[in-house]
Structure 1
Amino acid sequence: MFVLELTYTAPVERADALMREHLAWIDEQYAAGVFIASGRKNPRDGGVVLAVGEDRAEIERIAAGDPFAEHGVCAYRITEFIATRTAPGLAAYQQRLP
C-alpha cells in the first residue's frame, strides 16, 4: 500500500485552474481500483492519497500522470507501507509481512 503526499510547488490558484483535470484523473484511478481514499490537506498546501498496488514503479508512473505533476503544480512524496492491520471495511487490503 502507498501514501501519496502532494505538496503544491506553485500558488494554489494554479492548482485551482487545473482542478477539473486533476479530479478527472483521480476518478480514473478510483475506477481502476488503485485509489481507495483521497483529499486535501489542512491547511491547504496539497493533498493525500491512499493507493494500493504491488509495484512502486507503477505507482510512481501513475503519480507522474497527474495533471498537477505534469504542469509543475505539485511534487509527490510516495511512502510504501505494509498494511498488516485495517479497519473491517478495508480488510480486503490487509497485507502479510514478507
Structure 2
Amino acid sequence: MSQHVHLLIVRYTVPPAQVGPHVPAHVRYLERHHEEGVFLVSGTSVPAELGGAIVATGVSRERVEQITAEDPFVRAGVAAYEIVTIDAGRRHPALAELLGSATEREAPVAR
C-alpha cells in the first residue's frame, strides 16, 4: 500500500521584515504538527528570504489544506502555500516505518 506524502512549499508574499513578527507563532505551529507526527521535516529555503518547506505525511490532502490554512503566516497574509501531494509508491527502506502501511490520521474537517 502506498502512502501519500505532501511537500508544502511556503513562499513569503511580503518582504521578510514583515514576516519577522509572526515567526514565534509559526514556530509553535510547526512544533505542534511535528509532535503530532504529521510534519516529518521543516526548514527554511536557501536563500531563507524566499520562505521554506515542510514534508508531511499520514493525513489526507484535505487535512493538509486545512493545516496550512491554520498557519499563522497564512492567517497574517505574509505567506502562501503550494501543496504537492506524492503517492509514495517507492521509497528508501529507511523510511519504511514512517511511510509504510500507516493509516491516515484524520481529524474532522472544520466547516
The aligned amino acid for 1:74 is A
- The correspondence for 2:6, drawn from 2, 5, 9, is 2
Structure 1 consecutive aligned stretches of length 4 or more whose deviation exceeds 6 Å: none
Amino acid at match of 2:63: E
RMSD: 1.4
Q: In structure 1, what is the Cα distance between the partners aligned to 2:58 and 2:9?
A: 16
Deviation at 1:86, TM superposition (A): 2.7
Task: Count how many residue pairs are aligned between Structure 1 and Structure 2.
Answer: 95
Distance 2:6 2:37 in 1: 13
Gaps of 5+ in 2: 102-111
Give the residue type in structure 1 aligned to 2:14: A
Could you tell me the percent identity over the aligned residues? 34
CA positional deviation for 1:94: 4.0
Q: Which of 71, 78, 81 pairs up with 2:83?
A: 78
Cα distance in 2 for residues equivalent to 1:47 and 1:94? 26
Q: What SS class does the counterpart of residue 85 from structure 1 fall into?
A: coil
**Unmatched segments (≥5 aa) in structure 1:** none
Q: Deviations over 1:32-90 (max 9, x none)?
A: 11100011011121100000034111100000000000000101000000122333332
The aligned residue for residue 60 of structure 1 is 65
SS in 2 for 1:63: helix
Contact 1:4 1:76 (8 Å CA) reproduced = yes
Hey, what does 2:17 align to over in structure 1? 13
Aligned 8 A contact 1:69 1:75 in 2: yes
**In structure 1, what is the Cα distance between the partners aligned to 2:21 and 2:93?**
38
Distance across 1 between alignment mates of 2:19 and 2:84: 23
SS at match of 1:20: helix
Give me the TM-score of the superposition, normalised by structure 2.
Answer: 0.79
- TM-score computed with the length of structure 1 as normaliser: 0.89
